[in-house]
């Protein structure tokens, strides 16, 4: 009975760690942790929280794009990593906001990496046109305003790491969520890079 409770506690702790933005391979071959999530938009002022928007007024050429950057640490052997942005209130587009990158092609050095996405919401009622472009040219952060009633939900980053000998997952569902608003208006462009 004691062993079963310890095993259950270990499984519960693994799930908690995965939700807190970190995780590790059961065989010890690798571990990972989310360290930061940023987007192209800050709410209300230059130090406001980062948000995402489906439709953005006063943003020429990017009326339906939100750039998202996820910083993370990885240690150990990584054959490939699948990273995605998962919806907090719907899974409808989860598969379209996911990409897989070989460990040798991860952008970064010394175990510290950044994946940058251009999330396109231009076809919200269809599934296939949704896409992520990994490591696009960085854009400047913009200040946006929105109506609080236009909050559509939230997303969080999620990882699946293949070490070659094992796999593990971790996500930002508890610590790294980003609110998504239906309509936003750009009021200022800053000098800050995403």
Alpha carbon 93 to chain centroid, angstroms: 14
* 0.75 exceeded by pTM: yes
pLDDT at 17: 44
pLDDT at 70: 94
Whole-number Å distance between alpha carbons of 8 and 13: 9
Sequence-separated (6 or more) residues with CB below 8 Å from residue 162: 78, 79, 80, 81, 82
pLDDT at 13: 38
94 to 42, 78, 102, 107: CA distances (angstroms): 23, 23, 20, 22
Sequence-separated (6 or more) residues with CB below 8 Å from residue 30: 24, 74, 75, 76, 77, 78, 161, 163, 166, 168
pLDDT at 93: 66
pLDDT at 52: 94
pLDDT along the chain (194 residues), means of 10: 30 46 96 97 98 95 92 96 87 75 89 87 49 73 94 93 97 94 97 96
């Amino acid at each position: 009975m004691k062993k079963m409770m310890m095993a259950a506690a270990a499984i519960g702790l693994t799930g908690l760690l995965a939700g807190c933005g970190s995780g590790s391979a059961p065989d010890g071959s690798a571990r990972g942790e989310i360290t930061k999530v940023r987007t192209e938009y800050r709410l209300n002022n230059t130090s406001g929280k980062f948000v995402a928007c489906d439709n953005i007024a006063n943003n020429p050429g990017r009326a339906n794009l939100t750039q998202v950057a996820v910083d993370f640490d990885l240690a150990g052997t990584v054959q490939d990593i699948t990273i995605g942005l998962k919806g907090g209130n719907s899974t409808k587009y989860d598969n379209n906001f996911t990409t897989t990158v070989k460990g040798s092609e991860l952008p970064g050095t010394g175990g510290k990496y950044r994946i940058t996405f251009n999330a396109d919401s231009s076809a919200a009622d269809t599934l296939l046109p949704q896409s992520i472009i990994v490591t696009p040219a960085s854009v400047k952060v913009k200040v946006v305003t929105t109506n609080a009633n236009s909050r559509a939900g939230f997303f969080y980053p999620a990882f699946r790491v293949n070490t070659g000998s094992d796999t593990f997952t971790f996500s930002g569902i508890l610590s790294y969520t980003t609110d998504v608003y239906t309509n936003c208006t750009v009021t200022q462009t800053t000098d800050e890079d995403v």
